[in-house]
Structure 1
Amino acid sequence: MCVNDAEQVNIERENFENNSKQQQQPPWPPHCNEVLHTQMENFDKEPRLISSSVENSVPLRSICEDSVVIDGKQNLLNFAPTLRSGEWSDIGGRPYMEDTHVCIGDLSKKFGCKILGEGPISFYGVFDGHGGKGAAQFVREHLPRIIVEDADFPLELEKVVTRAFMETDAAFAKSCSLESTLSSGTTAITVMIFGRSLLVANAGDCRAVLSRCGLALDLSKDHRPCSTEERMRIESLGGYVDDGYLNGQLSVTRALGNWHLEGMKLKGERSGPLSAEPELKLITLTKEDEFLIIGSDGIWDVFTSRNAVDFARRRLQQHNDVKLCCQEMVEEAIKRGATDNLTVVIVSFQLEPPPHVVVKRGRVRRSISAEALENLKCLLEL
């Protein structure tokens, strides 16, 4: 009797354990179970190898991994930027002021047109003139209007902005033919923000730098003759670089205007070595993005991108006043010995000041900055 009772208990125990296993069986296929089991065993040993193996695994495993990534992106993108902007400029060490800028909170309201989509489209620009102020002022006045009046605005914004740069440049050429005193040139960088999308268009050596969790991200590339890509483009169009200058005359390789300089630009289908076509950068803003710094090259002569972000973060943490922060950055540039005109525009995406965070640095410390390294490379190529 005792033996039978023990056998009955064992049978009931086995049934209970089998039922428990069936209830705990996860809803995914068995081979996903094996992947999960293998990952749990090796997690503490080789986490990087596991991450790599998941990325190169069979499709169903990739689906499991991607679902986590998508959820993470959704959390980051669940963000609506609140724009606050400020600007400041100074003649610096130059006898004439050739910089100018523009800040338009709502393009449609500014030009009295209706656009499709949710929310306004904001427009910011910095224009650094050379050889006179005519080109910079012309571009500031006409470029935003030409963008808005394009038939494809705002549905194909990247194409519209590129066309607008070229059309503005051609329109300025006509104005110069009627009034030669306008002859001059200007670099140009514009930023358009619509919803969470941010589009940078750059032609020249102005620069846009994003602060993301305290890290500095360049959203534009300086167009200088020492750039390998720019030099190849120049030489393919019949130009040359002499002593670091385009055709021995200009320190930039992209700009609007300069139609009076022989050999720089050609009318019609052929293009000269000096281009007005901008390079574009489109990103999606997330809650990690704090603010954007847009500055003329006079700012970047004395600030690195990293240094500028650090400086602006400290000031915004102190007073959270965007315009005052721009003024302080220009004043600091003067203290550092800036000799050029100075213009800076800062666009904040948050109402609150940047949080105090510890920015992770690379394990290998550089003995030379990235910009100094690029300058050294340019010197070696000459």
Structure 2
Amino acid sequence: MSDNQAAAETASKQAMKAVGFSIGISEDRNKRYRRAMEDSHTCMTDFSNIERQGFFGIYDGHAGKATAEWCGENLHQIFSSCLSKNPDAPVSDVLNMTFLQADQQLNKNQGQHSGCTAVVAYVEAKNTNSKRVLYTANVGDARAVLCRGGQAVRLSYDHKGSDANEAKRIIDSGGFMLNNRVNGVLAVTRSLGDHTMKDFVVGNPYTTETELTDEDTFIILACDGLWDVCDDKDAVDLIKDIKDPQEASQKLLDHALVNFSTDNLTIMVINLSD
């Protein structure tokens, strides 16, 4: 088991704490509906050896777990490398480079048959006293939601076949939509891996940049297993008065199960303590 996997195993059982953050992660295979757990995640504080800086990601696999696990172990390393090689590039552009490089590597190796959605959050802190900036990137329907002043602010875009813009892009690329699925097969329109669908199901992420203020209290990252049965506002309202992020992530997971989510579940709550 890698150091990152070991950290993730610990994080799933109790809140992680570091300067600038406290994090809770809850996972469930959802055995009533799923034979295997195909999600993976990354949780890194003091990212690039800088306090108050962090990188967090959730990867929701389909057609197997290989792509999601590879991303959990490697995508943050690719991001770190891209940052160091492109110090003057906007971080959102670096995230786009990262996703595309990861997609290229996957499709040479791991991603021949499986794929995954991905949502990542990078909290940048240039120095001890600077304001922090939150960058997010996603492909597919895993989602990032920020709690700002007690209100839910979505920082991701659901790349799904039911989205008119994404469906048009698929058709314009030579594919077709059947029952809101790309070529009648895949429900998401962007992903990492999925080599056989790559002409249509691209790896370019949706990205955001948000300067954090005192009104920003926590971030929720979660796969669609939560969002299929819970909207952004309800998720924030359920946990905004809970101080312990592990308790908060577990409350969201329990809510998803009670409301008959049929998917694997991985939920990360990142408190932005500073």
Q: Give the TM-score taking structure 2 as reference length.
A: 0.85
Q: Paired residue for 1:341, among 256, 259, 264?
A: 264
Would you say the 8 A contact 1:147–1:153 is kept in 2? no
Q: Paired residue for 1:104, among 28, 32, 44?
A: 44
Is 1:152 the counterpart of 2:152 in the alignment?
no
Structure 1 residue 226: deviation in Å?
A: 1.4
Distance 1:154 1:296, change over 3 A: farther
Match of 1:293 in 2: 220
Structure 1 residue 154: deviation in Å?
A: 7.3
Q: Paired residue for 1:325, among 248, 263, 272?
A: 248
Would you say the 8 A contact 1:191–1:199 is kept in 2? yes
Deviations 1:126-152 (A, max 9, x none): 000000000001111111111111201
Would you say the 8 A contact 1:108–1:120 is kept in 2? no
Question: Identical aligned pairs, as a percentage?
Answer: 34
The runs of 5 or more residues in structure 1 that have no matched partner are 1-80, 110-117, 266-271, 352-382
Q: What amino acid is aligned across from residue 325 of structure 1 in structure 2? A: A
Would you say the 8 A contact 2:64–2:115 is kept in 1? yes
The runs of 5 or more residues in structure 2 that have no matched partner are 1-18, 126-131
Secondary structure at 2:43 match in 1 = strand
2-side partners of 1:236 and 1:149: how far apart? 34
The CA RMSD measured in Å over matched residues stands at: 1.7
2-side partners of 1:186 and 1:170: how far apart? 14
Alignment of 1:253-272 (within 5 A): 253-259=189-195, 261=196, 264-265=197-198, 272=199
Would you say the 8 A contact 1:246–1:252 is kept in 2? yes
1-side partners of 2:143 and 2:110: how far apart? 27
Secondary structure at 1:252 match in 2 = coil
Alignment of 1:1-382 (within 5 A): 82-92=20-30, 93-109=33-49, 119-150=51-82, 151-153=85-87, 156-176=90-110, 183-195=113-125, 196-259=132-195, 261=196, 264-265=197-198, 272-314=199-241, 316=242, 320-350=243-273
Higher strand proportion (structure 1 or 2):
2
Structure 1 residue 155: deviation in Å?
A: 5.1
Across the two proteins, how many residue pairs are aligned to each other? 246
Would you say the 8 A contact 2:223–2:266 is kept in 1? yes
Structure 1 residue 257: deviation in Å?
A: 0.6
Q: Give the TM-score taking structure 1 as reference length.
A: 0.62
Of 223-232 and 250-259, the range deviating more from structure 2: 223-232
Structure 1 residue 288: deviation in Å?
A: 1.0
Structure 1 residue 235: deviation in Å?
A: 1.5
Higher helix proportion (structure 1 or 2):
1
Secondary structure at 1:202 match in 2 = strand
Secondary structure at 1:108 match in 2 = helix
Q: What amino acid is aligned across from residue 192 of structure 2 in structure 1? A: L
Structure number with higher relative contact order (C-alpha < 8 Å, ≥ 6 residues apart):
2
